[in-house]
Amino acid sequence: MSLRLAVLASGRGSNLQVILDAITAGTLDAEVVGAWSDRGDAQALVRARDAGLPAYAIRPRDFTDRAAHDHALFGALDAAAPDLIVCAGYMRLIGADVLASRAGRMINIHPSLLPAFKGLHTHQRALDAGATEHGASVHYVTAELDGGPVIAQARVPVLPGDDAAHLSARVLTHEHPLLLETLRWIAAGRVRLHEDGVHVDGRRADGPLQLAATRRFA
Ligand code: GAR
């Protein structure tokens, strides 16, 4: 049975698009049950609707506080009965109380080699720190911002003359296959979250899966 994905996105939606394209191409055994955004003008919602999928804006300003917004959002998500919630450029903090019951059923893609550069402006911060290597991570979502167990990473060189825009564009081209490959592993039942961390093929992983570099994605 294919993996039911609910996608959360705040903006452009290129990661959502590669998921949709892979499903259409038959290279990802999943279905997207809907897209949700905190912004009515998110391009991600347009992409979902263009694919014939339900797409909703649930805007924080329509609620009295974060908890009320979280409960509305997660109530809607639960009604769609996803197997996995995928944060693909979702730029809002989510409260611990709604996350607690969803451990191992929600992932996020973040543009850095976590635990380095949690939060915003990761590319500029990597440049400012003089990093020679940067990249992206897919991790399980916990109440700690960008702090949940890391499943997989893609490493990207920082090149002489890079600015944040160039580095961001290079990382994005690696984010897309990273997210797809991670979803394939989850869809195949090869990756799960246990109390002691991420398990791959039934054994506790000794570190994040590395896209391409170490060929641990097969
Ligand atoms: C991606 O680079 C993703 O890693 C990042 O937002 C971008 C969304 O792009 N996410 C975060 O920064 C989350 N902290 P997209 O809308 O084109 O998929």
Q: Tell me: the pLDDT tens digits for 10-58?
A: 999 999 999 999 999 999 999 999 999 999 999 999 999 999 999 999 9
Structure tokens at 187: 């869809």
The dihedral of CA 44, 198, 141, 56: what is its sign? positive
- pLDDT computed for residue 84 by the predictor: 98
Amino acid residing at 54: P
What mean pLDDT comes out for the span 146-154?
97
**Topology given in CATH for the domain delimited by 3-211:** Rossmann fold (3.40.50)
Whether 121 sits among the annotated catalytic residues: the reply is: no
What mean pLDDT comes out for the span 64-89?
98
Distance CA 104, CA 26 (A): 25
Between 5-9, 132-136, 197-201, 213-217, the lowest mean confidence (pLDDT) is in: 213-217
Comparing CA positions, the residue from 31, 33, 35 lying closest to residue 9 is: 35
Catalytic member of 110, 123, 134, 139: 110
- Summary mean pLDDT of the chain: 95
- Any atom of ligand 1 within 6 Å of the Cβ of 15: yes
Distance from the CA of 109 to the center of ligand 1, in angstroms?
A: 7
Confidence of residue 1 (pLDDT cuts 50, 70, 90): confident
- pLDDT computed for residue 213 by the predictor: 42
- pLDDT computed for residue 159 by the predictor: 96
Q: Is the model's pLDDT at 216 over the cut of 70?
A: no
Instruction: Output 157 or 1, whichever has higher pLDDT.
Output: 157
Q: Is the model's pLDDT at 165 over the cut of 90?
A: yes
- pLDDT computed for residue 33 by the predictor: 98
Q: Is the model's pLDDT at 200 over the cut of 50?
A: yes
Among 7, 8, 12, say which to mutate for ligand 1: greatest number of ligand atoms within 8 Å of CB.
12
- Any atom of ligand 1 within 6 Å of the Cβ of 164: no
Q: Is the model's pLDDT at 161 over the cut of 90?
A: yes
- pLDDT computed for residue 212 by the predictor: 62
- pLDDT computed for residue 15 by the predictor: 98
Rounded to two decimals, what is the model's pTM? 0.97
Helices and strands, number each (H, E), in the chain? 6, 11
> What are the domain boundaries of the chain?
3-211
Judge whether 212 and 135 are in contact, CB under 8 Å: no
